[in-house]
Structure 1
């Protein structure tokens, strides 16, 4: 998918440029032929066809190597005409290239907007600096569809879905599908920009999950007030991770491998038990979670916010419970289906 987007982008520019280049080549060939004939005509027997062609080429290219033979007044007029027409052709080619590039970019952006309009339940990444690029790599690794919103157009083929624009602009976020998205990550360069992006996204989609990056501690409360559910300071978070790596390196390695899906086919997942699910009212030991799916429930987050770590086998599941579980991807998919109301998602 990424490669096909890049090919379309380059191919459209080439397609738009093709007719102009063909016209320019035809005009250049005509000029060379006409100039050669004119110089031969005004030069008389002293000028060979090669001399006339050489004079035409150095006149068109304005390299100024010198005249083959002294020019008569008629010869000078031919040289002036050849130089003027050649300059006109050069300007035509330059204008055609610029026009094709602009039209190609506009075509690509319209095509990208139409492709993004088909996305649902995706993640919007605002900003494509070092943090934004790392987020994009992580989402790609988890096979989660995402759209990057950035002011500067990334290299062709690097991203599958990208919207070029200001992430603090409501219209740009609409083009990124904010009303259909599952979440948004504000990873812009400044806390002020992230604050505006969070405010805009929250006003457009009250149900959106928003994670924001901040650089200064004083911005945390403001980002929460603007509507972010999670605020991350990458400097503090990286310091904490480094400290844990020093104290518990194997634990950190295991958690990172599982979180990235790079472990022994085991990942963490969160699954919410819906009203009407066959799991409601069933103790863990009687459910198929451990017995059939071989899934370990590490934490149960109750609707009140209470967290039950390492729940006992007798713990009964209730509607609204959020299960933090660890297991194989296929088994966790089965748990997701069990957590839905009866008759749905089977």
Structure 2
């Protein structure tokens, strides 16, 4: 594994208790218990004896509180009355036990568990293969993850890259592996083994950052499938020239839905249904099977095949002449139900 500068790159991570939040809660509980113990001992200070000067001061009670809850017990200050001893047995002792449980739990959480999590993430990082990388986890990246999950993608096959800490926390809560860093950097993409990835989905917010991320991905993984979100239509050609296989313009697509709504009441609704795995139907792309070779495009997939992609050529069953014949190596685009017919 390459060595990276820590200020630029954080290790692969999954969701865990936020360190700052968990530690703050534990510290607050510990100080509250110490304050309660001090208040109890202060109001019952007449039951204590200072073997040094026979006077129990405010500082003496603070001192006795700390050595009591930490079980040090030097013996210079001790409970001498029956009430003071009962208070120590039934009030201070439970506080002492609870504080030790907090200390031990904190040690287990921030040492043992976090060390185990770091080792587990390093193991996942070494074995990443055929995974999906989400570079940028803003609104578009989060919607892409939701769609991947709805389509049945295993969360263990998804890695999120983002430089924003809040975005990384959102990704952790979703249950995917994350790495905090600049997706345009070679070392960040190498850390998620971009060369072994199946697909990278890039949505870095600004077009220039997204295009630079495309260039980096294409340089490191020439055969990688790259999809990128571009917001300015003038930059779509630049993204393609940078090496993107698929360029999506969210603004243009929203315009298409609005235009479709003007031609029919249900057209926009059906288009939304068609592009999401959570709808009733969806588009599926697959390779032509051996028994389909030589058949008409209209006769396969129960008539639901809508396109053949043959290299750079796109063939439709609704041309002026006869429907095209399927050839070996063709990619077929078809409309299929999202669920089996009997389970809707």
The answer to whether the Cα contact below 8 Å between 1:139 and 1:146 also exists between their aligned partners in 2 is no
Q: How far apart, in 2, do the equivalents of 1:107 and 1:172 lie?
A: 23
Q: Deviations over 1:288-331 (max 9, x none)?
A: x44xxx45111222334132244788642112222111224688
Bigger relative contact order, structure 1 or 2 (CA pairs below 8 A, ≥6 apart):
2
Q: Which runs of 5+ in 2 are unaligned?
A: 1-12, 39-44, 67-101
- Matching residue of 2:288: 273
Q: Which secondary structure state, in structure 2, belongs to the residue aligned with residue 112 of structure 1? A: helix
Q: TM-score, normalised by structure 2?
A: 0.63
Q: How far apart, in 2, do the equivalents of 1:140 and 1:269 lie?
A: 16
Shift of 1:198: 0.6
The number of residues matched between the two structures is: 270
Given candidates 159, 165, 175, the residue that maps to 1:147 is 159
Q: How far apart, in 1, do the equivalents of 2:227 and 2:59 lie?
A: 73
Q: Deviations over 1:104-152 (max 9, x none)?
A: 7676455334324434322211011111111111111112242211122
Q: How far apart, in 2, do the equivalents of 1:283 and 1:47 lie?
A: 99
Q: How far apart, in 2, do the equivalents of 1:143 and 1:127 lie?
A: 21
Structure 1 residue 282 and structure 2 residue 295: aligned? yes
Q: How far apart, in 1, do the equivalents of 2:181 and 2:118 lie?
A: 11
Greater CA deviation, 186-195 or 313-322?
A: 313-322
Query: Following superposition of structure 1 onto structure 2, how do residues 50-89 of structure 1 map, counting pairs within 5 Å?
Result: 52-53=60-61, 56=64
- Matching residue of 1:41: 51
Q: Which secondary structure state, in structure 2, belongs to the residue aligned with residue 179 of structure 1? A: helix
Q: How far apart, in 2, do the equivalents of 1:219 and 1:284 lie?
A: 35
Q: Which secondary structure state, in structure 1, belongs to the residue aligned with residue 313 of structure 2? A: coil
- Matching residue of 2:241: 225
Q: How far apart, in 2, do the equivalents of 1:203 and 1:179 lie?
A: 10
Q: Deviations over 1:204-225 (max 9, x none)?
A: 1111111112233332222221
The answer to whether the Cα contact below 8 Å between 2:278 and 2:338 also exists between their aligned partners in 1 is no
Q: Which secondary structure state, in structure 1, belongs to the residue aligned with residue 182 of structure 2? A: coil
| RMSD (CA atoms) | 4.4
Q: How far apart, in 2, do the equivalents of 1:122 and 1:325 lie?
A: 24
Cα 1:305–1:105 shift into 2, 3 Å? farther
Q: How far apart, in 1, do the equivalents of 2:145 and 2:122 lie?
A: 19
Q: How far apart, in 1, do the equivalents of 2:149 and 2:295 lie?
A: 36
Shift of 1:272: 2.1
- Matching residue of 2:89: none
Q: TM-score, normalised by structure 1?
A: 0.63
Shift of 1:171: 2.0
Q: How far apart, in 2, do the equivalents of 1:109 and 1:313 lie?
A: 60
Q: Which secondary structure state, in structure 1, belongs to the residue aligned with residue 332 of structure 2? A: strand
Cα 1:41–1:157 shift into 2, 3 Å? same
Q: Deviations over 1:230-249 (max 9, x none)?
A: 22232232233223234334
Q: Which runs of 5+ in 1 are unaligned?
A: 59-92, 332-346
Given candidates 14, 17, 42, the residue that maps to 1:10 is 17
Given candidates 305, 323, 331, the residue that maps to 1:322 is 331
Q: Which secondary structure state, in structure 1, belongs to the residue aligned with residue 213 of structure 2? A: helix
